[in-house]
Amino acid sequence: MLWEEMIASPLSEKLLYTCLVICFSGMASCYYQHMIHLPFNKDIAFGAILTSGGIFLFLFATFWWSLASAVLSGVLGGILFTRKVT
């Protein structure tokens, strides 16, 4: 089954990956907003965090449960959501 590796992982690993997704999506959103010369908008960053969490949970957690996938989904979600909104 696809979710077995994620479900069997320890709680500390799940929390680490969740924190990485949140941190990297927030940083990517902030960076992208800065690059297009917008003042920082917390609502956009929050939407980016939610999008990144969805990408990680439904795309990467089912096939590739790892530290790299948490970072990648955070960056992808942060940039993709911020770009779509702005």
Instruction: Measure the N-to-C terminal CA separation of the chain; round to a whole number of Å.
Output: 38
pTM of the model: 0.90
What are the b/e assignments for 52-83, b being 16+ CB within 10 Å? bbebbeeebbeeebeeebbbbbbbbbbbbbbe
CA dist., res. 73 & res. 75, Å (int): 5
In the predicted model, is pLDDT for residue 1 greater than 80? no
Average pLDDT over residues 23-42: 95
Taking the domains of the chain in order of start, what are their residue ranges? 14-85
